[in-house]
Amino acid sequence: MQVATISQSMHLAIAQINCTVGDIAGNSGKIVAAVSHAKVQGASLLITPELALTGYPPEDLLLREDFNQASETALIELAKKTQGITLLVGHPRVFEGACYNAASVLQDGKIIATYHKQALPNHTVFDELRYFKAGTTPLVFEHQGVKCGVLICADIWEANPAKLAKQAGAEILLTLNASPYHMEKQDSRHEVASQRVLETGLALVYTNLIGGQDELVFDGASFVLDRSGAVVQQLPAFEEALSLVEIDCSADNKANPNQAQVTPALAIEASVYQAITLGLKDYVTKNKFKGVVLGLSGGIDSALTLAVAVDALGADQVRVVMMPSEFTADMSVSDAHLMADTLGVRYSELPISPLFNLFRETLADEFAGLPFDTTEENLQARIRGMLLMALSNKFGSIVLTTGNKSEMAVGYSTLYGDMAGGFALLKDVPKTLVYALSNYRNSISTVIPERIITRPPSAELRHEQKDQDSLPAYEILDAIMEAYVEHDASHADILAMGYRAQDVNRVTSLIDRNEYKRRQSPIGVRITQRGFGKDRRYPITSKFLPKA
């Protein structure tokens, strides 16, 4: 007689998927496809990211009754399509007059349990208290004899939700996440998750969203920690994946994941490059723009922007325009043309000198006796912006602006000129990092002419102009900017770092008084701990002027 044996392992699957905010039908379809693939791989339980059904963050869509109703209807339909596997799915839930950030357990066509997120982040890019009410109770459900505790993203950044799950009988923690990328974020996630594991003695499965959503990029990089807090499985960053996790359910080692593939972490330059590439790709494709157009100046910022655009979208979706003036060096024109040829993009030259002279003639009486200054410099930038926007309007391509975070910080940019466009790819990338990313891209294949990287940066809006005529060296500017903007350091703190008072006063003063410009700039990919956008809400009108 054959004796039935109890399985010594449980197989669950992580669905690291790219969801689109508001595309409830499309997201549901992705989840259904993941369910099918997980079943084929032998998984009995599938975990999706936070708010996978609606995309994250839905923002003020959550204030619409029709949006919430569509989400509820889709959840019921999704449950009907979930057969032969248990699905843990993230979604918003309106319950007893309040909206919750929720996760439901779907099984055999039914919604068998729902959890409400307890820790609602309300800092940096997060604004969840505007939309959600916090849950107060844990959820533990049993699956193949293992008691699974459910957590959602910020829940693991505090000790209490995991503690409550353990007290409710959890033997493993399953966490759904929509954790946006910034540099070195993965180290923080590992550290915090490991802390929860060590506090509870429970293994943890971390499922994260990937994809671009306006200025945010979600990098995936889902992972699994065993009961010692060690990473035993690590999924790749910046790509969709469905990965099987084997949980040891033997009596001696119950609910402890087995060792599996650990994808090596990316270097900083590689991770940032992939982040801005994915952010641009998803912004253009999810919003159905007909490609991109950008001004190619022969300088480092537009060169990097072009390289990323081609990697994100393909050469056939990218158009570049060189718009030389009397101040444009011959090397700038030749380097721009060479790079365009190397990448195979459509290239045009539209000289702006005739238009610039016409403007100066029109304004001659008004400007009589006054010297050439930033007014004439800005006119050139605005002529270029007008030409790019005309091409955008005519052909449906979105204009990529090419300014970097250092320039945006101190106002070294022109309203309605080089700031004119739909997406600011390098908005959160400091100038020093622009150089590092350019060298990184060339280490894969040489697409940026070496002279563009090695020559001194210049806006080329007057004769013999160099950026450092108007600004401190970028190594100094970027360090002061990071301390002041990203870490809220005081002048005294920055002086203690060894910088001169005149540089600190100059840079911070420029940062503060150019907020009005940044408010009018396009959005761009966030890659630092605090970008100019959702992160930093600084008053334009302010009398607080700190000095060193």
Q: Determine, yes or no, domain membership for 537.
A: no
Mean per-residue pLDDT for 203-229? 97
Domain-ending residue, one of 240, 259, 278 = 259
Tokens of 83: 């057969």
* pLDDT tens string 272-311: 999 999 999 999 999 999 999 999 999 999 999 999 999 9
Domain-ending residue, one of 206, 236, 259 = 259
pLDDT at 536: 87
Dist. CA 110–CA 203, nearest whole Å: 27
Which residues, 6+ apart, have CB-to-CB distance to 323 below 8 Å? 295, 297, 349, 350, 351, 352, 383, 384, 387
Residue with more model confidence, 14 or 7:
14
Residue 169 pLDDT greater than 90, yes or no: yes
Dist. CA 163–CA 119, nearest whole Å: 13
pLDDT at 7: 60
Residue 3's pLDDT band, with cuts at 50, 70 and 90, is very low
Which residues, 6+ apart, have CB-to-CB distance to 97 below 8 Å? none
Dist. CA 89–CA 53, nearest whole Å: 7
Residue 471 pLDDT greater than 60, yes or no: yes
| 22-36, 428-442, 473-487: least confidently modelled range | 473-487
Same domain? 185 vs 327: no
Dist. CA 541–CA 521, nearest whole Å: 18
For residue 142, give the 3-state DSSP assignment: strand
Same domain? 175 vs 198: yes
Domain-ending residue, one of 200, 229, 259 = 259
Dist. CA 183–CA 512, nearest whole Å: 24
Same domain? 242 vs 99: yes
Q: Which region holds residue 265: left if phi is over 0, alpha if psi is between -120 and 50, else beta? A: beta
Q: Determine, yes or no, domain membership for 531.
A: no
User: Contacts by 67-71 with C-beta closer than 8 Å and gap 24+?
Assistant: 67/22, 68/92, 68/94, 68/99, 70/24, 71/24
Share of the chain above pLDDT 90, in %: 89
Dist. CA 249–CA 199, nearest whole Å: 21
Mean per-residue pLDDT for 233-248? 97
User: Strand 346-349 vs strand 203-208: parallel, antiparallel, or unpaired?
Assistant: unpaired
pLDDT at 250: 84
pLDDT at 124: 85
Backbone angles phi, psi at 91, to 5 degrees: -165, 160
Mean per-residue pLDDT for 360-381? 94
pLDDT at 6: 45
Dist. CA 204–CA 224, nearest whole Å: 6
Which residues, 6+ apart, have CB-to-CB distance to 88 below 8 Å? 45, 46, 47, 48, 103, 104, 105, 106, 150, 174, 176
Dist. CA 93–CA 51, nearest whole Å: 10
Same domain? 30 vs 120: yes
Residue 487's pLDDT band, with cuts at 50, 70 and 90, is very high
Residue 171's pLDDT band, with cuts at 50, 70 and 90, is very high
Backbone angles phi, psi at 59, to 5 degrees: 50, -135
- Give the helix/strand (H/E) hosting 107: strand 98-107
Q: Determine, yes or no, domain membership for 316.
A: yes
Which residues, 6+ apart, have CB-to-CB distance to 154 below 8 Å? 117, 119, 120, 121, 126, 128
Q: How many beta carbons lie within 10 A of that of residue 365, not counting itself?
A: 7
Same domain? 211 vs 284: no
Dist. CA 222–CA 228, nearest whole Å: 18
Same domain? 128 vs 243: yes
Vertex 450, ends 445 and 454: CA angle to 5°?
135
Q: How many beta carbons lie within 10 A of that of residue 464, not counting itself?
A: 9
Residue 545's pLDDT band, with cuts at 50, 70 and 90, is confident
- Cα 6 to its chain centre, rounded Å, is 44
What's 409's domain CATH number?
3.40.50.620
Same domain? 282 vs 228: no
pLDDT at 4: 35
| DSSP alpha helix (H) spans, 314-373 | 330-343, 353-362
Residue 501 pLDDT greater than 80, yes or no: yes
Same domain? 249 vs 276: no
For residue 521, give the 3-state DSSP assignment: coil
Residue 58 pLDDT greater than 70, yes or no: yes
Dist. CA 490–CA 80, nearest whole Å: 57
Which among 199, 197, 217, 198 is positioned nearest to 208, based on CA atoms? Answer: 217
Q: Determine, yes or no, domain membership for 1.
A: no
Q: Determine, yes or no, domain membership for 404.
A: yes
What's 86's domain CATH number?
3.60.110.10
pLDDT at 470: 74
Q: Determine, yes or no, domain membership for 526.
A: no
Q: Residue for token digits 């919750």?
A: 100
pLDDT at 457: 78
The chain-wide mean pLDDT, for the chain, equals 94
pLDDT at 343: 98
Same domain? 162 vs 288: no
- Cα 12 to its chain centre, rounded Å, is 28
Mean per-residue pLDDT for 85-105? 97
Residue 496's pLDDT band, with cuts at 50, 70 and 90, is very high
| 20-34, 141-155, 393-407, 470-484: least confidently modelled range | 470-484
Backbone angles phi, psi at 388, to 5 degrees: -65, -40
Q: Which residue segment(s) compose the domain that 156 sits in?
A: 9-259
pLDDT at 73: 97
Sheet bearing 110-116, strands edge to edge: 110-116, 98-107, 86-95, 45-47, 9-16, 241-248, 256-257
| pTM over 0.85, yes/no | yes
Q: Determine, yes or no, domain membership for 529.
A: no
Q: Residue for token digits 């950044």?
A: 157
Q: Determine, yes or no, domain membership for 538.
A: no
Do the beta carbons of residue 408 and residue 507 sit within 8 Å? no
Half-sphere exposure (Cβ direction) of 176: Cα atoms closer than 13 Å: 31
Dist. CA 203–CA 170, nearest whole Å: 10
The catalytic residues are 50, 117, 153
Same domain? 215 vs 304: no
Q: Residue for token digits 């399509």?
A: 81
Which residues, 6+ apart, have CB-to-CB distance to 464 below 8 Å? none
Residue 460's pLDDT band, with cuts at 50, 70 and 90, is low
Which among 349, 485, 359, 482 is positioned nearest to 417, based on CA atoms? Answer: 359
Residue 251 pLDDT greater than 80, yes or no: no
Number of separate domains in the chain: 2
Q: Residue for token digits 């150019």?
A: 514
Dist. CA 153–CA 204, nearest whole Å: 12
Same domain? 425 vs 386: yes
Same domain? 171 vs 293: no
